[in-house]
Amino acid sequence: MTQNRASKSKVSEPHSLSPVVTVRGVPSTERLFLFVRAGGRCEFDGCNCYLLAHPLTWIEGNFAQVAHIVAFRPEGPRGNVRTRPVDIHNVANLMLLCPQCHKLIDDHPDLYTKRTLIEYKKKHEKWIKRVTSLGPDRKTSLIVVKSPIGKQSISIPFDHMLEAVSPRYPVSREGLEIDLTNLLEEGEAVTEAAKQTIAARISRFFEPGGEWQEAGHVSLFALAPMPMLMFLGTQLSNKIPLDLYQRHRDTETWTWKLTGKPIQYLFRTIQTGTDPTRAALSLCLSGSGPRDNLPAGIDSCFSIYEISLRDIIPSPTFLRTRGDLENFRTAYQSALAEITKIHPHLAEIHVFPAVPAPLAVLCGRELLPKVHPALRVYDYQKTKGEFVDQLTVNS
């Protein structure tokens, strides 16, 4: 009864720009499909209002309106497009909207075009399908660490993270964001300030009662200099379930690829040094830079080891699947075990990284207390054309 009164009221108030039609011959099957695909919520981008209960009293009822993207009549909103749907009432041309959003899109058809509304519909229905397919124990808490790449600011859209973590879902949009934008100038004081920021924010995030406890799982999206990412890894306990994500340059998204030839890693000795207490590890994965640019201080006293890619040229785009990530974890653990075995009294390993961001985090996170040496991490600085000692991370 409430729905009928609302429909009649809407029709009885004609508007020159908004000939709203809530039903007008839409077959019941198409209406059913639309309600299911929309999850009973308004499909206008950012609204998401639940339409099967009153927003204030929560009395159940149908408060939804079925809107045409391309209008029922050619003279209606978006009705004069070149290609009108063959079946104007097909679910592909329908949106489920609250009355306010319905009036908005029809009063401003030049702003809310056919293309815009189709994108809203596609985005909303994709999200509903993803959320309703989730099983139990699929919660996750987001951690975002970002800094400029070159001089370009970085943003990670929530939609990209939502797609990447599926079939998990974030317990909140906020999670934890660590923005190092203002802490990345060169200098020991700035490096120390960045370390303190990371350590303090991570410590507070993992305090008892935080959202990570509700989720029982963490998803990390990080872009920052290699030394900072390795330090970040040491702050993330390996007792906490954690998924790492990679930004893929070809799609500019963070979702792991599902196919691709598995990456194999090669660990080898580049040089056997004269001093068993000195060792260096070159990580030549995103590029061969470390191999060719080791500082003069890494001399004949040092034993030099290398992890590289087997049978392919190092490239920033090589890391594509979760399997590639896990294979690196295994190769890195084996390399640390081998180095520690050969150098039992080694206090630190000089590390020269050229790796994707999630692998840098793993390098810090996989250090075992009282087992592995510290990592003395260098960063390649283009302005100087060389690797510079940045910081030391401990397990």
DSSP string, 287-327: -SHHHH---TTS-TTSEEEEEEESSS---TT---SHHHHHH
Nearest alpha-carbon partner for 41 in 127, 140, 135: 127
Q: How far apart are CA 66 and CA 86, in angstroms?
A: 18
Q: What is the pLDDT of residue 89?
A: 94
Find which of 15-24, 54-63, 182-191 is predicted with most confidence, using mean pLDDT.
Answer: 54-63
Strands (E), the chain: 65-68, 94-97, 139-146, 169-170, 176-179, 218-223, 242-245, 265-271, 279-284, 303-309, 348-354, 374-381, 386-393
**pLDDT tens digit string along 35-44?**
999 999 999 9
Q: How confident is the model at residue 23 (pLDDT cuts 50, 70, 90)?
A: very low
**One-character DSSP codes across 119-156:** HHHHHHHHHHHHHHT--SS-EEEEEEEE--BTTB----
DSSP for 37-68, please give it.
Answer: HHTTB--STTT--B-SB-TTT--B----EEEE
What is the average per-residue pLDDT within 224-242? 90
Distance from C-alpha of 102 to C-alpha of 18, rounded to nearest angstrom: 9
Q: Which residue(s) pair with 260 in the sheet? A: none
- Is the pLDDT at 184 greater than 80? The verdict is no
Taking the C-alpha atoms of residue 55 and residue 358, their distance in angstroms, rounded to an integer, is 43
**Sequence-ordered alpha helix ranges (H) in 253-299:** 289-292
For residue 309 the two structure tokens come to 């890619």
> Cβ–Cβ contacts within 10 Å for residue 169, how many?
15
Of 155-159, 217-221, 223-227, where does the model show the most confidence?
A: 217-221
Confidence check: pLDDT of 16 > 60 = no
Domains of the chain: 2-132 (no CATH), 139-245 (3.40.50), 265-393 (no CATH)
> Which amino acid is it at 387?
F
- What's the start-to-end Cα distance of the chain, in Å? 67
Query: In the predicted model, what is the mean pLDDT of residues 346-369?
Result: 95
Percentage of residues of the chain with pLDDT beyond 90 = 63
Helix axes 226-235 and 188-205, enclosed angle (nearest 10): 30
The alpha carbon of 170 is separated from its chain's Cα centroid by a whole number of angstroms, namely 11
pLDDT tens for each residue of 315-327: 999 999 999 999 9
92/95 Cα distance (integer angstroms): 8
According to the model, what pLDDT value does residue 395 have?
Answer: 65
Q: At what angle do helices 114-132 and 158-165 cross, to 10 degrees?
A: 40
Q: Distance between CA 215 and CA 228 in Å, rounded?
A: 26
- Please name which of 94, 109, 75 lies closest in space to residue 24, comparing C-alpha atoms: 94
Q: What is the pLDDT of residue 12?
A: 36
- Amino acid letter, 386: E
Asked whether the predicted pLDDT for residue 187 surpasses 80, the reply is: no
pTM over 0.75: no
The 8-class DSSP code of residue 373 comes to P
Both tokens assigned to 337: 């075990």
Task: Look up residue 104 and give its two tokens.
Answer: 């908005």
**Strands 348-354, 303-309: parallel, antiparallel or unpaired by DSSP?**
unpaired
Of the ranges 4-13, 80-89, 362-371, which one carries the lowest mean pLDDT score? 4-13
Which neighbouring-strand residues pair with 271? 304
3-state secondary structure of 223: strand
